[in-house]
Structure 1
């Protein structure tokens, strides 16, 4: 029986189309480098997890890339906004029999395998698990069934998303895991372990 599934939302790494807010400070080429490093980190963190893993690309499915075809199932996002795309991804996996599904993005150098494992464990006794982000959003959402209100009427990409989501979940048992820093701006980057490591190595991003 299918039990746990991890959904990983990614953007196809293209110059000028990823980390656009970060690029305003460091330029498109460096922003693309940061994003490809973020993807590599997310791959390394998730590849050994014992759940089934699904990479959902934003534009097109790519074979023979860093997401090994023998470790990750590959699908394409669909929907008019982020909420619709996330809901559709959850629906696909619940429909084929998964009992617990977690979605993450690919914006966190601070993410570890333990965060995902802890979220799956908390879903044993909770309806929903959230991984809050320092910017007021969330980097992880875990569900045992689709809760439609979670995916609508949100100001995606703003500091109100977590509060709006928690308001919609007042009648559900919700657990949270550690708050982490996801990287959208240069200020986010400066606070990340990645930036600190790069500064120690060569003083550059």
Structure 2
């Protein structure tokens, strides 16, 4: 399959560090199992998307040093592993997309916690951009989005966004309207965000993990908008 040198798929992934991934799942899974689930979802995302269409895939790690796991993923799929740069999620996304756009052609950025997103969604996003849209979003049921694609820089989409809240997609639409941008939206999907989402996962992704017994009054861990 020939690649379109100007179409770039950018996959954001966190290094599998205990206590830094899927913190919202803390009531249901221990830190080690949350890391294992994160690694499985990351590997599954790359299996589905890297090399699945006429785009070139890049894997972006946070923290920038990455991890042996992410380096192994990049080697397996023969894709570049690059650091995410920026002080917060919005700055990292803006920097990565603008860097890709500077090479010419559209760019689509995705995370790794949307189990039902397949290559058809990525292909639809690139198709919308090729047909004249300035941006494309795939909203999630919780009010965020799990895919964003751009045909041109739109830095206002990444400044002062209430990341990790149910207002992310709504505020992003307001910014697009204010910028006079034309955008399209893919059908909404769901992401792995809270304990109840585990019941929706393919059981194979949960094999060997040990759910925690509910603990009344368990204090929530600090939330991280980039991954649960």
TM norm structure 1: 0.90
1:116 match: 122
Of the structure 1 ranges 52-61 and 128-137, higher mean CA displacement relative to structure 2 is found in 52-61
Q: What is the deviation of 1:17? A: 1.6
Which of 1 and 2 has higher RCO (CA within 8 Å, sep 6+)?
Answer: 2
Matches within 5 A, 1:1-205: 2-49=5-52, 50-59=54-63, 60-62=65-67, 64-68=71-75, 71-95=78-102, 97-125=103-131, 126-170=133-177, 171-192=180-201, 194-195=202-203
Q: Would the alpha carbon gap of residues 54 and 37 (structure 1) be closer, same or farther in structure 2, given more than 3 Å must change?
A: same
Of the structure 1 ranges 39-48 and 81-90, higher mean CA displacement relative to structure 2 is found in 39-48
Of the structure 1 ranges 129-138 and 62-71, higher mean CA displacement relative to structure 2 is found in 62-71
Contact 1:23/1:30 (CA < 8 Å) preserved in 2? no
Q: Aligned residue pairs: how many?
A: 201
Q: Would the alpha carbon gap of residues 202 and 165 (structure 1) be closer, same or farther in structure 2, given more than 3 Å must change?
A: same
> SS at 1:103's partner residue?
strand
> SS at 2:126's partner residue?
helix
Q: What is the deviation of 1:198? A: 5.9
Q: What is the deviation of 1:34? A: 1.1
Of the structure 1 ranges 167-176 and 69-78, higher mean CA displacement relative to structure 2 is found in 69-78
**Unaligned stretches of 5+ in structure 1?**
none
Q: Would the alpha carbon gap of residues 159 and 74 (structure 1) be closer, same or farther in structure 2, given more than 3 Å must change?
A: same
2:226 match: none
| 4+ runs deviating over 3 angstroms | 61-64, 201-205
Task: Give the whole-Å Cα distance in 2 for the aligned partners of 1:144 and 1:180.
Answer: 22
RMSD over aligned Cα, in angstroms?
Answer: 2.1
Contact 2:37/2:205 (CA < 8 Å) preserved in 1? no
Contact 2:16/2:67 (CA < 8 Å) preserved in 1? no
> SS at 2:78's partner residue?
coil
TM norm structure 2: 0.81
Task: Give the whole-Å Cα distance in 2 for the aligned partners of 1:23 and 1:172.
Answer: 39
